[in-house]
Chain A
Amino acid sequence: MRHYELMVILDPSLEERTVAPSLDQYLNVIRTAGGSVEKLDVWGRRRLSFEINKKAEGIYAVVDLQATPEAVAELDRQLRLNESILRTKVIRPETR
């Protein structure tokens, strides 16, 4: 088990209220693989410093989780398939 931090940028046309529940659905991948989700933080709409897919804004969300590398890789793969997710980033904060 390792500590990971996942950041996602979602399509700004999404309803902000629906972001947390829909992300939570994806996080079931982690839970079924024996990991745990420590924190789900939706930053909300934020201006991008450059356009991504012609969009000037994005909804940011940051997730802290404990999981195996395989579970995180699978979560990241599934997130990338969703077209309303503009970008993802997985980081291990301890490795610096």
Chain B
Amino acid sequence: MAKAAALRKPKKKVNPLDKDGITYIDYKDTALLRKFISDRGKIRARRVTGVTSQQQRQIARAVKNAREMALLPYTATAR
């Protein structure tokens, strides 16, 4: 059982940005950025989001810019 789980190939993630053809991540687009933050307001890891490392950096910067302008929360109390 444990061996079978170790051998299981991880499912290949589709890149959500390439799928929608997004090339520029705008800090004003909060609807898009909200997909990349948890309900606590934290930026999701790349292994979760499935984007490239360059895109992840752009997302991180956009989220931080959006936070400065109070478009996104720094923290949110989960429910």
A87 near B74 with CB under 8 A, answer: no
Interface centre among A7, A62, A87 (most CB of B within 10 A): A7
A52 interfacial contact with B, CB 8 Å: yes
A96 near B58 with CB under 8 A, answer: yes
Minimal Cβ-Cβ distance residue in B for A86: B70
Note all chain B residues with C-beta closer than 8 A to A9.
Answer: 69-70
B64 to chain A, nearest CB (A): 11
B69 near A50 with CB under 8 A, answer: no
A1-37 interface (Cβ within 8 A of B): 7, 9
Minimal Cβ-Cβ distance residue in A for B24: A96
Number of A-B contacts (CB under 8 A): 32
Minimal Cβ-Cβ distance residue in B for A96: B58
B28 interfacial contact with A, CB 8 Å: yes
B71 near A49 with CB under 8 A, answer: yes
Q: How far is the CA of A49 from the CA of B74 in the complex (A)?
A: 8
A50 to chain B, nearest CB (A): 6
Decide yes or no: A87 and B68 within 8 Å by CB, A50-B73, A96-B58 being known contacts: yes
What 4 A-B pairs have minimum CB-CB distances, sorted nearest first? Answer: A48-B70, A49-B73, A49-B70, A89-B69
Jot down 10 A-B pairs with beta carbons below 8 A, ordered by A: A48-B70, A49-B70, A49-B71, A50-B70, A62-B28, A87-B69, A87-B70, A89-B65, A89-B68, A96-B61
